[in-house]
Amino acid sequence: MWKDDLLEKACSCGGDMTIHMHTLVYNTKIKITDVPVYNCEDCSRYEPLPAIKPALGELVQQLGREGTAGSKISLADGSEWAFVLKETFSKFSGEGLPELEAEIRKAVQSRIDLLLDIYRFAADSEDVEWMRETGDRLSQLTLRSTQIAK
């Protein structure tokens, strides 16, 4: 289902980058928690997971307009990928990347199923705004899943 670079990838230094949750500090005053990033143990370089870059960019723009010094915000509140990864990492008790990948697959599918149920309920309720919002959240997972699928 996933390309090999979802959980790990090669760093430009030649080392291996693995995925984990990170806290970023924006403009030296605002903490953005629950950001999935690749981190290289050899050179300490890190980069955000490509699937969350759009949500992270939107959040940074919003914080530039409305951010308050000392505030703390979770990317998982606005990014379905960050939410799924945060939840999966917090519950994962396996031993390696293959087991983690399997758990992420299950979590993504469960989240998609939940969002489809919510969308169906919103449609039955004829709540157009709720449908739009749920559709946007669903597309974060389905479009990214399609792009990273083999």
Between these two residues, 29 and 139, which has the higher pLDDT value?
Answer: 139
Helix ranges, the chain (H): 53-66, 80-91, 97-124, 128-148
Mean pLDDT over all residues of the chain?
A: 87
Burial of 111 (0-12, 13-18, 19+ CB in 10 A): buried
What is the pLDDT at residue 7?
Answer: 83
Encode pLDDT of 103-148 as tens digits: 999 999 999 999 999 999 999 999 999 999 999 999 989 865 444 4
Return d(Cα 53, Cα 47) in angstroms, integer: 10
Between these two residues, 75 and 67, which has the higher pLDDT value?
Answer: 75
The CA R_g of the chain, rounded to the nearest whole Å, is 17
Between these two residues, 1 and 42, which has the higher pLDDT value?
Answer: 42
> Two tokens at 109?
């599918």
What is the pLDDT at residue 88?
Answer: 94
Residue 48 in contact with residue 82, Cβ under 8 Å? no
What is the pLDDT at residue 110?
Answer: 96
Residue 66 in contact with residue 78, Cβ under 8 Å? no
What is the pLDDT at residue 148?
Answer: 46
Return d(Cα 59, Cα 99) in angstroms, integer: 31
What is the band of 5 on the pLDDT scale with cuts at 50, 70, 90?
Answer: low
What is the pLDDT at residue 143?
Answer: 63
Q: Return the percentage of the chain with pLDDT > 70, whole number.
A: 91
Return d(Cα 102, Cα 7) in angstroms, integer: 11
Residue 39 reports pLDDT greater than 90: yes
What is the pLDDT at residue 147?
Answer: 47
